[in-house]
Chain A
Amino acid sequence: MFQKILIANRGEIAVRVIRTAREMGLKTVAVYSEVDARAAHVIEADQALSLGPAEPSESYLNIDRIIQAARASGAEAIHPGYGFLAENPDFAAACEEAGLAFIGPPAGVIRDLGSKTEARRIMASAGVPIIPGTAEGTTDVATVRRQAEEMGFPILVKAVAGGGGKGMRVVAEAEEMAEACQAAISEAAKAFGDGRVYLEKNLVAPRHVEFQILADGLGHAIHLFERECSIQRRHQKIIEETPSTALTPQIREAMGRAAVTAAQASGYVGAGTVEFLLDQDGKFYFLEVNTRLQVEHPITEMTTGVDLVRRQIEIAAGEPLGLSQEDVAPRGHAIECRIYAEDPAEQFFPSPGKITLLREPVGPGVRVDSGIYEGFTVPVEYDPILSKLIVWAHDREAARQRMVRALGGYAVLGIETTVPFLLDVIESAPFREGETRTDFIERHFTAWRPSAPEADVARMAFVIDELRPAARPTGGDQPRGWPTPWQSLGRWTI
C-alpha cells in the first residue's frame, strides 16, 4: 500500500478523497491554484502545494505541474477526482511514465472509452446495445449538418470527448443546427481540448440509469447496482437516487450483466460507471463509460456499504478486489442532491461570492460531502458545485422525507444556491411518484419561479434582526476600535 497520495482536484471531491485516505492511514497532498489558497481541500490535507494561477490550464489541468508536485511531495499515487484531468489519457500516461500510480484505469482504456465513437464500437462488438448514431466525430459543421438531415430531427449533437453535459446540444430543427453545432464545438474544444462532435438519435423522455462497476487488475469485475440519474437540468444531473424506480428485477439483472460485460470488453481496471438510456418500453442502450469516480457515487456507498474510494486506492495499489458479486447486497434507498452556487431566480446563473453563514444538516441518515465552509469565498473560476447532500432511509418515501427535512436545514447565505429549487423538486408530486425521466425538469419545472419563504415571517425576521446592533462600526469616518455603547447597545432607552 502507498504511504502518501496526491489529490489532483479541488472542492468537495478532493475533501471526500482525503477523508478515506486518512481512514486508511495515508498521508494526503492537496494541490491548489492561487484563488484556492484557503479552499477546504487545502485546509483538510496534510500538505498542500501551489500549482499556479487560477486559469485551469495553469493549475488543475496542468499535467507537468501536478506531476512535479507529486514528485516534490513524495506522493506515490495520484487520485484525479472527477472532472479536470480525471478522464485524460495523457495524464494517466504521464503518471505511469513518472512512476506514479494513477488511481483509475490505464491510459489506453481511458483513451478508448473517452472517445464516444470508439466506445460505441467496442460495446457493439461485445454485444452491448448502443443508440443509433454516427460512427465518427468531426469539427466540420457542414458534415454534421448533412448527417443530421439524413437522420432527422430532433437530434443530439455530442462531443466525442464529452462529459458532464459540456459540448452537448439537443437540436429540434435544421435551422438551429449551425449555431448549436458551433457552440458545442467551441465548448468541447475549450473543456476537453478536442472539438469533434458526432450525432446520436434523441430518445424521447428516456431514463438515465447507470451502473457502478469495480474491476481489479487481476481480471475480476463486478457491478454495484444502478443509479437513477434522470433528473437533469441542461444535461447536468442534479438529483440521483438508487435503486431506480424504473427497473424490474429482470431488467436490473440484464443491465448489470451488460455493465460487467462492458467492463471486461474494455479491459477496465478500477471504479467506473456504465451509463445506459432506458426507453419507455424497457429497452436499454449503452451510452458511455465514465472512467472515473462519479459525482453521485455516495448513493451507491450508502446502499451497498462499500467505500468506493478505498476500493479505488486498493486496486491502484495492485490489491485484488476481494469482493464477489454475491457479496454486494444493496439495502434501503439513497438520494443525492447536488448543491450548486447558482441563483435559481436568475436562470441558474452562477452565484460566486463569500459564504457569510453556513449550517449543514446533520442527523440520522444524512451525509454531506462538502467543499465549503463559513467565510469561504466561492471562486468565479470553477464549476459552481459546493457540496452534495445525500440521505439514506429504509425505503424511497422515507428517504424523500428525510431529504426534505435535510434541505430545510441547509442554510447557505451570502450567495444563492439551488437548495430552494431542489426542495421544490423533491416535494413535487411527480418526484414522489417516481416519474423521473430526463425531461422531468422541462416537463414539470420550466415555468418554475422560486417560492419565497413565508413572506410575513421573512419581514418579521428583518425587523427583529434590525434590533441586533452592528457588530463593528460601519461607515466611512467612524473611529476605529471597539464599538462604543452607542453602537453596541442597539435600540435602548432610559
Chain B
Amino acid sequence: MEYRLELGGEITPMDVEVQPGESSARVRIGEASVRVDYELVAEGHWRLVVDGRALNVFVARTEEGKQIFINGRTCLVRDADAAPRRRGRAAGPDEGPGEVTPPMPAVVVRILVAEGDRVTKGQGLIVVSAMKMESTLAAPYDGLVTRINTAVEAKVMPGDVLVEIEPEGENE
C-alpha cells in the first residue's frame, strides 16, 4: 500500500507491505526499507519495534490528520492523497497566504485600524482575546484596509477574515 505523507509541509512517498498473519510490516521510505513490528497496546497506543528499537507511540486521529506523540514530542502527519485521490484539478481560488484571521476561537477586544487606512506588513490590526490571553493580529503584507468584517466583543472563529487588505507594493 503506497502513501504520500505530509509532515511539516514536506511530502514523502512511502510504501508499506504487511506480512500476512503477522504483526509485522516492511516500510519503505526512499531507499531505506525497514522492518516494523507493531502491537496495539490500547486505543491510540502503539508499541513499535523499528529495526530492533522499541518505541511507545501515541496516535490521535483528528480532522486535520494524525497527531503523533513520540518521547515528548508531537507532530501532525497527513495523508496527502486522503481526499480526493486523483491528482488535482484546480479546487477553487487560492486562499492566499496571510489572511487576517484568529488562530482559534476568540473575542475581539480592540480594532486598531479603520477602513481606508494604509497598513504596513507586521502592523497590529486587531486585538483578540482567548483564554484570557490577548494577542494582536498583524497585517500579512503592506496594503490598504478595504473592509473590516468584525466589531469589538464579536466572537470570531479561525477562517473568519476579520480585516480585508488590498495588497500594495511589488505588483502595483
A contacts, CB < 8 Å to B = 183, 186-187, 191, 341, 343, 346-347, 349-352, 356-357, 359, 380-384, 407-414, 416, 419-420, 423, 450-468, 471, 491, 493
Distance, CA A176 to CA B109, complexed state (A): 20
A458 and B133 in contact, given A408-B71, A464-B36 (Cβ under 8 angstroms): no
Q: Of all chain B residues, which has the CB nearest A385?
A: B131
A452 CB contacts on chain B under 8 angstroms? 7-8, 73, 75
| CB <8 Å contact, B69 and A455 | no
Distance between B7 CB and nearest chain A CB, rounded to angstroms: 6
18 other contacts beyond A411-B58, A412-B69, A455-B8, with CB at 8 A cut-off? A343-B103, A346-B103, A349-B130, A350-B104, A381-B131, A383-B131, A416-B74, A423-B73, A453-B74, A456-B32, A456-B34, A457-B57, A460-B48, A461-B48, A461-B59, A464-B46, A465-B59, A467-B18
| CB <8 Å contact, B60 and A356 | yes
Q: Of all chain B residues, which has the CB nearest A461?
A: B57
Distance, CA A459 to CA B8, complexed state (A): 11
Which positions 7-63 of chain B face chain A at CB distance < 8 Å? 7-8, 12, 14, 16, 18, 20, 25, 27, 29, 32, 34, 36, 38, 40, 43-46, 48, 50, 55-62
| CB <8 Å contact, B58 and A471 | no
Interchain CB contact (< 8 A) of B38 among A187, A420, A464: A464
| CB <8 Å contact, A459 and B44 | no
Name which of B14, B45, B77, B127 has the most chain A CB atoms within 10 A of its CB: B77
| CB <8 Å contact, A420 and B5 | no
Distance between B110 CB and nearest chain A CB, rounded to angstroms: 8
| CB <8 Å contact, B105 and A380 | yes
- Asked if B141 lies at the interface with its beta carbon under 8 angstroms from chain A, I say no
| CB <8 Å contact, A409 and B130 | no
Proximity string of chain B (101-143) to chain A, C-beta cutoff 8 Å, 1 when within and 0 when not: 0011100011000000000000000010011111100000000
- Asked if B68 lies at the interface with its beta carbon under 8 angstroms from chain A, I say yes
| CB <8 Å contact, B131 and A460 | no
Distance, CA A341 to CA B133, complexed state (A): 12
A and B contact pairs by CB, cutoff 8 A, 11 listed: A349-B135, A381-B131, A382-B131, A383-B131, A453-B74, A454-B70, A459-B12, A461-B46, A462-B66, A467-B18, A491-B18
Distance, CA A191 to CA B132, complexed state (A): 8
Distance, CA A351 to CA B105, complexed state (A): 10
- Asked if B146 lies at the interface with its beta carbon under 8 angstroms from chain A, I say no
B133 CB contacts on chain A under 8 angstroms? 349-350, 384
| CB <8 Å contact, A460 and B36 | yes
A459 and B72 in contact, given A384-B133, A414-B62, A452-B8 (Cβ under 8 angstroms): no
| CB <8 Å contact, A413 and B18 | no
Q: Of all chain A residues, which has the CB nearest B3?
A: A463
Distance between B79 CB and nearest chain A CB, rounded to angstroms: 8
Distance, CA A408 to CA B105, complexed state (A): 30
- Asked if B150 lies at the interface with its beta carbon under 8 angstroms from chain A, I say no
A384 CB contacts on chain B under 8 angstroms? 131, 133
| CB <8 Å contact, B60 and A451 | no
| CB <8 Å contact, B74 and A420 | yes
Interchain CB contact (< 8 A) of B60 among A407, A413, A464, A468: A413
